[in-house]
């Protein structure tokens, strides 16, 4: 591996580790200092609002917890392998950075699911979670709850009465509460679509290339 490729590999690894550490520090600070559903107003359009969810990013919960965590682990293994392959093939910096953000976000939420139930007591409306010895927490491995805290109600208003069906109702734009890991995944994925069209558009040729390499190895 050339020096440039090695530099890319180490940079990607450090970016992933740094993002995971930031994510976990924020989550642990929130979980060990706030009761469930506590909210701290930072600005009119930004709150630290502590919630937990058992499902996907931004609080979605339509997939079985064990299955979801297992799929996340498989995704992390696959994308890690893919990043290593791309580093060795000399992929562009921006492509690797975007993939690193997606990987870091996925790992960040996996940590919650795997370990938080084992090492934290339950967060409730009246009790702040405490760190406890391994296995004495509120749940089992794979069933930990993901900690969310960022809430950006850019528009929080009552809709005018003249709006059909929804007039007079409370309306919030951007309602989801999310965490740093979710943000990494979203920024990484959107950046892939916007700035890495070359790599994203070559997925079919990448699969063909992989098949050719496998055939060559078999012939040898």
Query: Do residues 55 and 62 lie in contact, with contact meaning Cβ atoms separated by under 8 Å?
Result: yes
- What is the C-alpha separation between 66 and 69, in angstroms, rounded? 5
Closest CA to 130 of 119, 115, 114, 141: 119
Q: Where are the beta strands (DSSP E) in 37-182?
A: 39-43, 46-53, 146-151, 155-158, 170-173, 177-178
DSSP E strands, 7-45: 39-43
Partners of residue 204 on adjacent β-strands: none
Neighbour-count burial for 160-177, b at 16+ CB within 10 Å, e otherwise: eeeeeeeeeeeeeeeeeb
The C-alpha angle with vertex 186 and arms to 108 and 67, in degrees rounded to 5, equals 55
Rounded alpha-carbon distances, angstroms, from residue 26 to 10, 42, 59, 150 = 24, 15, 17, 10
Active-site residues, by number, are 148, 182
Query: From the centroid of its chain, how far is CA 140?
Result: 21
């Amino acid at each position: 591996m050339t020096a440039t490729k090695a530099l890319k590999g180490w940079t990607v690894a450090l970016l992933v580790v740094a993002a995971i550490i930031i994510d976990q520090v924020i989550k642990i600070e929130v979980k060990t200092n706030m009761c469930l559903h506590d909210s701290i107003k930072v600005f009119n359009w930004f709150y630290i609002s502590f919630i937990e969810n058992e499902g996907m990013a931004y609080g979605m919960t339509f997939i079985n917890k064990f299955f979801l965590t297992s799929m996340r682990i498989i995704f992390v293994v696959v994308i890690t392998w893919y990043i290593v392959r791309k580093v060795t093939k000399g992929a562009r910096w921006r492509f690797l950075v975007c993939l690193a953000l997606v990987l870091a976000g996925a790992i960040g939420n996996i940590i919650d699911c795997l370990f938080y139930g084992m090492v934290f007591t339950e967060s409730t409306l009246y009790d702040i979670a405490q760190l406890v010895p391994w296995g004495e927490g509120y749940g089992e491995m794979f069933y930990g709850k993901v900690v969310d805290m960022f809430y950006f109600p850019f528009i929080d208003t009552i809709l005018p009465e003249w709006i059909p069906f929804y007039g007079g109702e409370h309306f919030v734009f951007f309602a989801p509460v999310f965490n740093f890991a979710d943000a990494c995944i979203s920024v990484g994925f959107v950046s892939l679509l916007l700035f890495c069209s070359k790599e994203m558009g070559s997925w079919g040729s990448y699969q063909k290339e992989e098949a050719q390499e496998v055939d060559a190895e078999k012939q040898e």
